[in-house]
Homo-oligomer: A and B are copies of this chain.
């Protein structure tokens, strides 16, 4: 039924939405809650008031050395020529570092500077100055001294100083409790058996981890089905038990999205809909004077919404200084187009190539959750802008540490599982190194190399006249710089078919059949070029193939489409077919090589890469996958 839908979302700019929401929260002063805890448990907590030392440390005059405590005046005149003898108990006592100096003693002579005559007498050879080698009272901390100020985040050295000043407890701001309510009738817990039509609930685990990083205390509630009354009850309960509540999914303007209506009924909706992409359909509300935030369901939207609103919100409660994300300036490698309706958050990969920091947008759409995992940073395109041109200097908010970016080998080109395995081996060998991959197809890789955007470009491009791979394309497109090919693997390419081959497909010929639905690769992909070569040989026109125009950007996506039943076959590599349990008709062996500038062959990171490639364990694991030939792995061909 086309039920009553609240399809009207506002489009409030992010900064304004944050300000209005935070101001509303600040009005209620709930964030001033404090508690008294033992100093030992106070690491990272924030003080409420300034703290002064209760006692001096040392609280007595203490020997600074091991030796003897003496009365300084009784040692005057002692010299090598005229040593002075001192009697135990009367003139001196033995003392160790930290021992208390009591009347009448007022100086310490180091043990190395005395000679024992017998059990009762010692000799000294120079006079002692008053207070020599004695730690005065308060040398560490003076009673009444300010140890730490108010609003100070306690570090280990502060803990030591507080205890030395005999402070046992501190009053600190309480850590905010955050209730997490997942909703949705298609959502199930990860331990439940996976049925068709169900999606695993993963957002609340990600939220709980983010809240811990924000120094809050997450409290998770069970999944709430899409029913008005149940959602209402769960929010009311969570609001009672927590300082802040986040409720996930159902915040878009769909028929089953009750959250906004519930919040209007039981509280006050301040904002519903902000001008960001992703993250538009967020709900910012107050219920019983506590903030409740409705977070969009898509993992990437959810992630950004938490960062936009929950992170600064919790900083108010914890009184931590809000740490701005580190940023870095980079050159944008390709044009980015953005809607002027929204502030867009575009995930990018970063790499330092020939001394220049390059930002390459991750492919949008596919692998959404993985785009967050693989992102090195985020490019923010403001609302008023339509995008940035290739070559622009842009500011990137970092997801990874800047030095990690420096130690990253940037790969742009055709994707294969073996690139992920190679990156894994590289990082395993040397945990300071990383391999980052952007998947744009073979020709895209050559273009990126030509523009100096990457260190290596994986390619598998067949010269349709000679049948040779890669070299002729490189010579054609990249002139002026000496290039090399690092041989990687031979790959078995062919037709991937649903397991059991229900449509009895035998080869390229069958693609002409009306009842066979194909799924293709994108233009510029080596696999597509291979397909076109064979179509030409068989004299088959593209229009004759159902689904020729339907494009996927990776082998795995093609395989997934076939396995999922939305296509009958596609061209791809054996390993992808095998992973998805598909049948495979081999068509050709192709060379999957890494293109790189000859100048980089001497680069330390590239030498490490070659070493990783030649690792026996690594080679063995590739061969075990099937469909790969490793006989030339790591060989360098100069072009």
Contacts and interface: CB of A to CB of B under 8 A. Distances in A.
Interface stretch (A75-83, A363-371, A450-458, A460-468): A363-371
A197 B60 contact: yes
Interface stretch (A160-168, A379-387, A592-600): A160-168
A146 B421 contact: yes
A209 B112 CA distance: 37
A214 to B, nearest CB: 10
B254 A66 contact: yes
Contact of A370 (B145, B401, B564): B145
B156 A580 contact: no
A116 B206 contact: no
A423 interface: yes
A54 B175 CA distance: 36
A139 B196 CA distance: 15
A55 B134 CA distance: 70
A1 B66 CA distance: 11
Given A43-B209, A160-B299, A200-B166, A139 B96 contact: no
A5 B401 CA distance: 49
A60 B369 contact: no
B321 A144 contact: no
A206 B159 contact: yes
B564 A137 contact: yes
A458 B403 CA distance: 41
A164 B148 CA distance: 45
Nearest to A202: B163
Given A98-B186, A114-B2, A160 B303 contact: yes
Contact of A137 (B62, B98, B561): B561
Most chain B Cβ neighbours within 10 Å, of A212, A365, A559, A560: A560
Contacts of A116: 1-2
A196 B59 contact: yes
A282 to B, nearest CB: 16
A203 B157 CA distance: 9
Interface string A129-149: 011001011111111111111
Nearest to A555: B142
Interface in A102-126: 103, 106, 111-112, 114, 116
Given A139-B366, A149-B427, A428-B150, A255 B111 contact: yes
A50 interface: yes
A607 interface: no
Given A137-B566, A161-B370, A560-B143, A254 B7 contact: no
A554 B561 CA distance: 77
Contacts of A190: 39, 163, 166, 168
A390 interface: no
Most chain B Cβ neighbours within 10 Å, of A168, A190, A194, A580: A190
B370 A141 contact: yes
A185 to B, nearest CB: 8
A210 B155 CA distance: 8
Interface in A190-220: 190-191, 194, 196-197, 199-203, 205-210, 212-213
A184 interface: yes
Most chain B Cβ neighbours within 10 Å, of A40, A97, A150: A97
A311 to B, nearest CB: 11
Interface in A337-379: 365-370, 372-373
A103 B96 CA distance: 88
A632 interface: no
A43 B215 CA distance: 13
A100 interface: yes
A245 interface: no
Contacts of A431: 151, 319, 321
Interface in A54-68: 55-62, 66
A550 interface: yes
Nearest to A419: B146
Contacts of A40: 205, 208
Nearest to A373: B161
B59 A205 contact: no
Contact of A151 (B98, B427, B559): B427
Nearest to A147: B373
Interface in A386-428: 401, 403-404, 417, 420-421, 423-424, 427-428
Interface in A173-192: 184, 186, 190-191
Given A58-B199, A146-B421, A94 B557 contact: no
Given A43-B212, A147-B370, A96 B254 contact: yes
A252 interface: yes
A55 to B, nearest CB: 7
Contacts of A140: 299, 367-370
Interface string A565-582: 110000000001001100
Given A143-B556, A161-B373, A324-B403, 14 more contacts: A1-B94, A39-B190, A50-B420, A96-B256, A136-B566, A138-B560, A140-B368, A142-B367, A142-B560, A146-B420, A157-B206, A163-B200, A164-B202, A323-B401
7 contacts: A66-B256, A98-B199, A138-B560, A138-B564, A139-B366, A143-B560, A150-B424
A-B interface, 10 closest residue pairs, ranked by CB to CB distance from nearest:
A160-B206, A137-B564, A163-B202, A100-B197, A156-B209, A144-B579, A138-B560, A146-B420, A66-B254, A149-B424
